[in-house]
Structure 1
Amino acid sequence: MKRNRLYRVGTMTGAGCAPASQVPLDSSANLLAYYRSTLPCLDQAWKGSWRKLRKAGVKFRAPKVVVHNGSSSSPCGTPGRLSFYCGQNKTIYMYDAEIVNPWNAYPGDEYSHGLTRLAATHTLAHEYGHHVQQLVGILRTIGPRYKGKLERRAELQASCLGNVWLSAQRDAYPILADYSQRPELWRYISVSNHGSLANQAYWTDRGYASAQPGDCNTFKAPGRTVS
């Protein structure tokens, strides 16, 4: 985990992605359409960073994305009202209400809708970070020890990797100045196993500042940054 080949892939570059779809996120069907429009950009960007990993025998495989209502099951279980990644079938499961409800709570409010769209994008990028961890063997190495300190390190790394992508594709998925003033609405994942807000900020800033997966080595970081 500390010396994974992922940390040597270099800076992620722009993949020439199209600007984010403006489909309204007011229903499960539209939310799925948005995620499906975003996923190819994530695939293209990460696949472009895979050259050194491919030489080392690490194959790239794109994940699937599913939108669920809190009762869906997966080979990894039924986590309930959460977004999650299942490595057994390499599928990202996105919980619809965490995006659809706030979107519909502010009809016609472009500012709120922009924050909600950014929250959707940020969460998808985080879950994709777990897919990257699966492909490079980090999740396999952790195995059943995925709890406590190792879980926080893995979750903080996924957020950092998500922001590596957001940084490299900032032309297509910009974080506007107005939105950066309300990070609690899109940037943080308010679950205890994802670390403190201060440490989430540290790792998302780190990934966004450099666009380098090598700066996301949470498994080598001192304990105070992954609490």
Structure 2
Amino acid sequence: MLVGALSAASVALVALVASTVIVVNTPQEEPPTGGTDLTAFYDSALHARPHPAEVDIVDHPLYDVAMPEPVDCELPELRTGSDDSWEAFANEAGTCLNDLWAPVMDELGLDPDLPEITVTNDALATDTDDSFTLAYYESDRGLITVVLPSVRQVGEQIPDDHEAHVWLALMGHEYAHHVQYATGILGISHDLRRRAGSEADELDTLRRTELQAECMAGVGLRGLTDPDGDALDVVNEHFNGGGDLDTHGSAANRAFWLESGYTSPTVGGCNTYEASDRDVT
């Protein structure tokens, strides 16, 4: 799963971090009425569909839009032990992501409400010692929530000079679910999962949704960090370095899609719904 020189303890640690990303990267939803409980928490209601036209998640006009140009983003120094510092960091990251994605929304003729961002010291009741939530997006509330006890636990294993990039990618992934919601993609994905005839089909749709969000996290990294820096490598090292996951894809594919968002000329680089099966396993 990882480089063979790593000890068994290190392998277990990285796998744990990967499993937390699984829960982290999943927007909240009511449990599906059929199939397998994937411990994914979504809200499926599209209380205000942002686009009057029928949505095609394979051939969506979003994919023709050029990747947004970088924007200046001066994130405040993150003192991970401080609730106030975490809230300031998360909200400034959200402001930067709003600015980054605004031209894309304008190109599509959309004017969605901007998501609110908050932090909490309360873990989800469904969290366990092996799999816990770092952050989540609720479409019905337009809210991204960062779970502070979880991010602090994971952050203990991340070098201080890497944390800003890692947590910016986390915010970028959750913001990507907002982009999916605003464009109608998230609602169609939910419908496909509910109508899935098998667990395998349900998991396939979920993986495509989550890997697209990972790709859009790459868009955020490219647009908000130094293009000559090491943000991409840092995030892949800590979040996509090991641990193949049925719901979020293999480590190799997560890294592939993050890099696709970082390097592609159009948002079509994040069209996971048209990708071959081998790229979304």
Q: Look up the match of 1:33.
A: 88
| 2:163 counterpart of 1:116 | yes
CA contact (8 A) 2:90 2:117 kept: yes
Task: Report deviation, 1:117.
Answer: 2.2
Question: Aligned equivalents of 2:240 and 2:211: distance in 1?
Answer: 12
Q: Look up the match of 1:75.
A: none
Unmatched segments (≥5 aa) in structure 2: 1-56, 194-201
* Aligned residue among 10, 35, 45 for 2:66: 10
Q: CA offsets, 1:154-206, max 9 Å, x none?
A: 000001011112112223x87437x8267331456965411110100110111
* Aligned residue among 127, 131, 138 for 2:174: 127
* Aligned residue among 108, 118, 123 for 1:66: 118
| 2:145 counterpart of 1:93 | yes
CA contact (8 A) 2:65 2:268 kept: yes
CA contact (8 A) 2:165 2:235 kept: no
Q: CA offsets, 1:14-44, max 9 Å, x none?
A: 12x2332213122333212210111111001
Q: CA offsets, 1:104-163, max 9 Å, x none?
A: x48xxxx81122222211111001000000000011112244441100000000010111
| 2:274 counterpart of 1:223 | no
161-170 vs 215-224, greater mean Cα deviation: 161-170
Q: Look up the match of 1:183.
A: 236
| 2:255 counterpart of 1:208 | no
CA contact (8 A) 1:9 1:50 kept: no
Distance 1:86 1:2, change over 3 A: same
CA contact (8 A) 2:214 2:258 kept: yes
* Aligned residue among 163, 175, 183 for 2:218: 163
**Alignment-mate amino acid for residue 135 of structure 1:** A
Question: Aligned equivalents of 2:114 and 2:242: distance in 1?
Answer: 24
Question: Aligned equivalents of 1:114 and 1:44: distance in 2?
Answer: 25
Query: CA-atom RMSD, angstroms?
Result: 2.5
How many aligned positions are there? 211
Q: State the TM-score, normalizing by the size of structure 2.
A: 0.67
Question: Aligned equivalents of 2:253 and 2:108: distance in 1?
Answer: 28
**Alignment-mate amino acid for residue 96 of structure 1:** L
89-98 vs 201-210, greater mean Cα deviation: 89-98
Task: Report deviation, 1:61.
Answer: 2.3
Q: State the TM-score, normalizing by the size of structure 1.
A: 0.82
Percent of residue pairs bearing the same amino acid type = 25
Question: Aligned equivalents of 1:208 and 1:223: distance in 2?
Answer: 22
Question: Aligned equivalents of 1:119 and 1:28: distance in 2?
Answer: 18
Match of 1:92, SS state, is strand
Question: Aligned equivalents of 1:139 and 1:189: distance in 2?
Answer: 27
Larger radius of gyration: 2
Task: Report deviation, 1:70.
Answer: 4.4
Unmatched segments (≥5 aa) in structure 1: 73-77
Q: Look up the match of 1:150.
A: 205
Question: Aligned equivalents of 2:111 and 2:257: distance in 1?
Answer: 26
CA contact (8 A) 1:99 1:116 kept: no
Question: Aligned equivalents of 2:242 and 2:126: distance in 1?
Answer: 15
CA contact (8 A) 1:122 1:186 kept: no
